[in-house]
Copies of this chain bind each other. A is one copy, B any other.
């Protein structure tokens, strides 16, 4: 099954009547990763019927409130419903102390451990790897310590060619190592090459998250060729100066980054509360990168390997 990204919130700075601050859930392999967790995210999970009991990873890009003020409430709720499995939190170093202080003074008794992974705003860093995905962070240029996240499916097992396996009479106990790519050595010493027994697995899908950031072509190296890119687009083109002043991007700039990085699909979000209608932002982005969608709350996007046609190349 391909990874899927669920949009829980896409407002910048302050909530509006219609929109909530940033949060997304990436379903990848057997895992769910939450990326950013603005105020009210746990209510958005309830609203869209998404369980948080198996959210084991939460990535926080930076410590502006619209990206993390909902985290402590979610942790508190996880504690109240008796969660036991570890929660992995990835974010700027002070986040740990902010969480700890609220746990202590709120008298929270958690039955699970929080494993904290500090991000580094100075360079790309590998964070962790498991059976489903590998995660790294990379620097974004914003007003405070801020990182993006790059998440790739873990290397998949090769497909067994059952016909070949039967023909060479391979015992089942070797299937696991063969799916990992090993050759089979028969009892008589003959080597059966792995390529005869397996075919390539589905390509590993990748997703990059870039919020918040000024227009910055330096990030292209980090996100080159990802299948799906989420990039903030707080403003429209006529507010480009304002975007730059506050270290944000316009829809057109987000699309320019997508085109430069040759990604498969772009999702734009983090819309300023000044915009009631989002279609004009989408139009500006599609002028530059046609395969763009709006991060509207409740939307779900499949991350596929499909490469899409670019009109300006």
Chain A residues with CB under 8 Å of chain B are: 13-17, 20, 39-40, 42-43, 46-47, 63-66, 69-70, 72-73, 76-77, 80-81, 92, 94-95, 97-98, 101-102, 105-108, 143-144
Inter-subunit contact B65/A102 (CB<8 Å): yes
In the complex, the answer to whether A16 meets B46 with C-beta atoms within 8 Å is yes
Give 8 nearest A-B pairs by CB, closest first: A94-B105, A65-B76, A39-B73, A107-B144, A40-B40, A69-B73, A63-B106, A63-B105
Residues of B within 8 A of A64 (CB): 106-107
B contact residues around A95 at 8 Å (CB): 105
State how many angstroms separate the Cβ of A298 from the closest Cβ of chain B.
15
Question: Which residue of chain B lies nearest to A142 when distances are taken between CB atoms in the complex?
Answer: B107
A73 B63 Cβ-Cβ under 8 A: no
Report B-chain residues with C-beta under 8 Å of the C-beta of A70.
39
A21 to B, closest residue via Cβ? B73
Task: Determine whether the beta carbon of A14 is less than 8 Å from that of B101.
Answer: no
If A14-B76, A66-B76 are given as contacts, then 6 extra A-B residue pairs at C-beta distance below 8 Å, sorted by A number, are: A13-B80, A20-B43, A63-B106, A69-B76, A92-B105, A101-B101
Q: For A46, list chain B residues within 8 Å (CB).
A: 15-17
In the assembled complex, 26 residue pairs joining A and B whose CB atoms fall closer than 8 Å, in A order, are A14-B80, A14-B81, A15-B42, A16-B46, A17-B47, A39-B42, A39-B69, A39-B73, A40-B43, A63-B107, A64-B107, A65-B72, A65-B73, A65-B108, A66-B76, A69-B73, A92-B105, A94-B101, A95-B105, A98-B98, A98-B101, A98-B102, A98-B105, A101-B101, A105-B144, A107-B143
CB distance from A66 to the nearest CB of B (A): 8
Query: Bound state CA distance, A230 and B43, in angstroms?
Result: 25
Once A14-B77, A72-B69, A80-B13 are accepted as A-B contacts, the answer to whether A102 and B40 lie under 8 Å apart by CB is no
CB A78 to nearest CB in B, in angstroms, measures: 10
Q: In the complex, what distance in Å separates the CA atom of A40 from the CA atom of B45?
A: 13
